[in-house]
Amino acid sequence: MGQYLLVTIQVDLYDQLAESLEADLVNMVRKTSAKGVLIDVSSVSIIDSFMGRILGNIAAMSKIMDAETVVVGMQPAVAITLVELGLPLKGVHSALNVERGMELLRSKILQEEETPEEDDNDNTDSTE
Amino acid sequence: MSIIKEHDVVPFRNRVKEYAVKIGMSLLNQTKLITGASELVRNMLKYGGGGTVKIEVLSRTRDSGIRLTFEDKGPGIPDVKKAMLDGFTTGNSMGLGLPGTKRLMNEFDIQSEVGKGTTITIIKWKNG
Amino acid sequence: MKNESIKIFQKKKAAILEKWLTLQLEEDGLREDLMSNADLRIQSEELLSSLIDNLSDSNIDQPQSSDFETVIEILSSISISRAKQGYTPRETGSFIYSLKEALLKTLSEEMKDPAALYKQSMTINKTMDSFAIATFETFIKGREEVILRQTDEITEISTPVIQVWDGIVALPIIGTLDSARTQVVMENLLQAIVETESRIAILDISGVPAVDSLVAQHLIKTVSATRLMGAECIISGIRPEIAQTVVHLGIDLSHIITKSTLESALKTSFAMLNLDVTKKQKPKTQHTIN
């Protein structure tokens, strides 16, 4: 149990699985009172509008539960396809890889809280 | 191949990928093709109640490509022009499926008759 | 009755080949640098045999006949390969025209009746001209292939991604930005971001002659894709006339970081990466990072 949740999507999800991921993840945010969610999509070769919507949903749901979502490791071809499709994943932050994602989350949370004690917890990121 | 339930989507995408790899399509075009195909298959399941997809390999001077024909016997689309507009949806999605897919493809053709069903044909050229 | 000219051709095949080769060798355009005489002889012989073997009463005035498929095929492969080797159209054309000349000469030597000779010559003329046209068609197609390949190469080399600093890549775009080019730009840029683990990508459009709404759309797409990768994209090199057209066309670039020069884009990037670039006081000008 820690500040961040890390989810790695390893396979191309079919719709039901993606939907249950959405539900599970939001529950986990609640349970662990995580401040950030990292979704690693580096092994996902296809993100269509459904998958994009799931990602957007997770971000929006986490947001109202006070957690930021960062999608990390998107493949160039996937990014270009998403843009062509007209789906720039608004409201979802992106980072090149997991470390960068962590950094981004840290800075986001710092900005928000602006309390020095956050610094102490910074190095104790734990992942799911 | 026929698509009747959600679980058919991922195997279908893999089949399309196999063909795309076989003709030596670039990773970006592969991604675009599969993403577009995925959108259409999803539409077919959601609105058309399932249907069939035909995968064909085409060749023309100095180029080859893949043609996918999606055929369903669903309710059809009353106003095709409207359905091709960004943001128009009858379901609760984002309405990107059809226009977005058109942007990802080289050729896109839609025939729909209310009460009879919808046929969508898409072509992606290897170097297109 | 078998067509007389066919009989003559079959009988005189060897003589025709010699005549043809002599004619070809006389030609100024003979390219010994590109093909040896021996190869020329082999090519010529192959074409002549296939032509004479396939000639018949019924097709002599029908160059479109399917009997000539092999002839056309040989011709095509010869002219395509010549186009790629850099032969001129004249050189390639004289190959087939000198064959016509050889055939007609042979006919005039062998046939005594002027009326028949005239008639046969006309027929042969027409058929051979049609082959010549086919030759040109394929020659041009061969050239087009060369052009197409060069276009690909140009697109490839015209999108150089440069790593200007640790964490910063830049891509100067020179020339018009159409959708095909945008694809290549995006692909190369995103690939470079992954490889160099860059946080900032600078797209310099000083070399883009004009920005219309389509080009702007391409730029916006590139920026969006960069952001999806987790990097920020700065567009630099916005010339005054570009700024004018963009505003007049009502294109909204406000959510994109734009800079007028590459220099200021670089400065912004340094600031974003918390880098401080200063001039050293004493020895000589040198950039240092704190």
On chain A, the residues whose CB falls within 8 A of the CB of C186 are 76, 80, 83
Which residue, chain included where needed, has tokens 């309405």? B95
- Sequence-distant (6+) residues with CB within 8 A of B83 are B77, B98, B110
Structure tokens at B29: 């075009």
Predicted complex ipTM:
0.73
CATH 3.30.70.141 fits C162-289, yes or no: no
Over residues B18-54, the pLDDT tens digits come to 888 888 888 888 888 888 888 888 888 877 777 888 8
CB contact at 8 A, A39 and A71: yes
Which residue, chain included where needed, has tokens 């067509």? C3
The angle subtended at Cα B31 by Cα B25 and Cα B33, nearest 5°, is 75
Amino acid at A30: R
Contact yes or no for C187 and B62 at CB 8 A? no
Average pLDDT of the residues of chain C: 80
Average pLDDT over residues B94-117: 79
Contact yes or no for A72 and C199 at CB 8 A? no
Closest CA to A87 of C201, B99, B90: B99
Per-residue pLDDT, B94:
55
CB contact at 8 A, C134 and C22: no
Mutation to test the A interface, candidates B3, B10, B12, B35, most A Cβ within 10 Å: B35
Closest CA to C142 of B64, B128, B62: B62
Beta strand pairing status for C257-258 and A68-72? unpaired
CATH topology of domain C4-152: Globin-like (1.10.490)
Structure tokens at B88: 């128009």
SS3 (DSSP) at B123: strand
Tell me which chain C residue has its CA closest to the CA of residue A76.
C190
On chain C, the residues whose CB falls within 8 A of the CB of A88 are 224, 227-228
Show contacts of C3-6: CB within 8 Å, 24+ apart: C3/C55, C3/C56, C3/C57, C3/C60, C3/C120, C4/C111, C4/C116, C4/C120, C5/C60, C5/C107, C5/C111, C5/C120, C5/C123, C5/C124, C6/C52, C6/C55, C6/C56, C6/C57, C6/C60
Per-residue pLDDT, A119:
40
Over residues A28-48, the pLDDT tens digits come to 888 887 888 888 888 888 888
Average pLDDT over residues C40-65: 77
- What is the C-alpha to C-alpha distance for residues A97 and C44, in angstroms, rounded to an integer? 63
CA distance A93 to chain B (A): 19
On chain C, the residues whose CB falls within 8 A of the CB of B28 are 183, 187
C287 pLDDT exceeds 60? no
Q: Which CATH superfamily is domain B2-125 in?
A: Histidine kinase-like ATPase, C-terminal domain (3.30.565.10)
Structure tokens at C158: 């015209």
**Which CATH number is A4-124 given?**
3.30.750.24
Cα-trace Rg, chain A: 14
On chain B, the residues whose CB falls within 8 A of the CB of C138 are none
User: Which residues face A4 on adjacent strands?
Assistant: A36
Closest CA to A69 of A114, A21, A20: A21
C32 pLDDT exceeds 70? no
Cα-trace Rg, chain B: 14
Q: How many CB atoms lie within 10 A of CB C33?
A: 8
C281 pLDDT exceeds 80? no
Task: State whether the Cα torsion B108-B61-A46-C168 is positive or negative.
Answer: negative
Tell me which chain B residue has its CA closest to the CA of residue A11.
B10
Beta strand pairing status for C232-236 and C200-207? parallel
- What is the C-alpha to C-alpha distance for residues B93 and B81, in angstroms, rounded to an integer? 18
In angstroms, how far is CA C85 from the centroid of its own chain?
A: 13
- What is the C-alpha to C-alpha distance for residues C176 and C182, in angstroms, rounded to an integer? 10
- What is the C-alpha to C-alpha distance for residues C19 and C23, in angstroms, rounded to an integer? 6
- What is the C-alpha to C-alpha distance for residues C194 and C180, in angstroms, rounded to an integer? 22
- What is the C-alpha to C-alpha distance for residues B57 and B123, in angstroms, rounded to an integer? 10
Contact yes or no for C183 and B28 at CB 8 A? yes
- What is the C-alpha to C-alpha distance for residues C137 and C112, in angstroms, rounded to an integer? 36
- H/E stretch holding C107: helix C89-110
Domain ranges of chain C: 4-152, 162-289
- What is the C-alpha to C-alpha distance for residues C139 and B96, in angstroms, rounded to an integer? 46
Which of A70, A83, A96 is nearest residue C225 as measured by Cβ atoms?
A: A83
CB contact at 8 A, B50 and B5: yes
Query: Dihedrals φ, ψ of A7, to 5°?
Result: -120, 125
Which DSSP category does C250 fall into?
T
Average pLDDT over residues C58-62: 71
Over residues A72-112, the pLDDT tens digits come to 888 888 888 888 888 777 778 888 888 888 888 888 777 76
The reply to whether B7 touches chain C by the CB within 8 Å rule is no
Task: State whether the Cα torsion C101-C107-C108-C114 is positive or negative.
Answer: negative
Mutation to test the C interface, candidates A38, A41, A80, A108, most C Cβ within 10 Å: A80
Domain ranges of chain B: 2-125
Distances (CA, A) of C193 to A41, B49, C9, C189, C190: 16, 42, 68, 6, 5
